Structure 1
Amino acid sequence: MPLISFKKNIHAPIEVPSQTVLMTALLDAGLPVASSCDGDGVCAKCKIVIVEGKENLTSENETESFLRETNNVPKDVRISCQTQILGDITVDASYW
């Protein structure tokens, strides 16, 4: 099962089933994830920096590509409500 690690060591690594949505995994572990749309892919506030392992995430879907373009989201950042985990990653967020 994939492992989510944290750049700032704010939480022990989290083991999750493959294809788990990143936002869901973080919320289930008790970590805050910014969002005003509740993960519906509208607000783009749930941005998570992918420090390592971006190749272990699903490709951007149309919703994430649209949000990236309209909100000027950098390439090392993913919209967590639109991203599934396929392998080990290390993440960070400005609000942790």
Structure 2
Amino acid sequence: MPVISFKKNRAPVIVEKGANLMDALLKGGLPVASSCSGDGVCAKCRIQIVSGAENLSPENETEKFLRETKKVAPDSRISCQVEVLGDITVDATYW
């Protein structure tokens, strides 16, 4: 089962393979910014991927659109649109 680790000193979260990143973080007790409740509209749930980007699902069309229109950094992903397929390390400015 994949492990989500954190750049800052937090306990890792173990998830099912294919788990939605935003849902997994919320279930792990971490706040995730969002004004659209994960509908892929606001891009506020962007999460910096410190390592393991290859262990996430490829960008879908919604995420590509949000990346372009909301100016999402290349090392970040829209967490409501991403599936966790393997171990990753993440960070967010508000943690």
TM-score category by the smaller chain? Answer: over 0.9
Helix, strand or coil at the partner of 1:38: coil
Q: Percent identity?
A: 69
Give deviations 1:4-38, integer Å, cap 9, x for gaps: 000011x2111100000000000001100000000
Q: TM-score, normalised by structure 1?
A: 0.97
**Deviation of residue 74 (structure 1)?**
1.1
The aligned residue for residue 65 of structure 2 is 66
Whether 1:42 and 2:41 are equivalent positions in the alignment is yes
The aligned residue for residue 3 of structure 1 is 3
The aligned residue for residue 74 of structure 2 is 75
Distance 2:44 2:56 in 1: 19
Q: TM-score, normalised by structure 2?
A: 0.98
Runs of 4 or more above 6 Å deviation? none
For structure 2, the residue ranges without an aligned partner over 5 or more in a row are none
CA RMSD of aligned residues (A): 0.5
For structure 1, the residue ranges without an aligned partner over 5 or more in a row are none
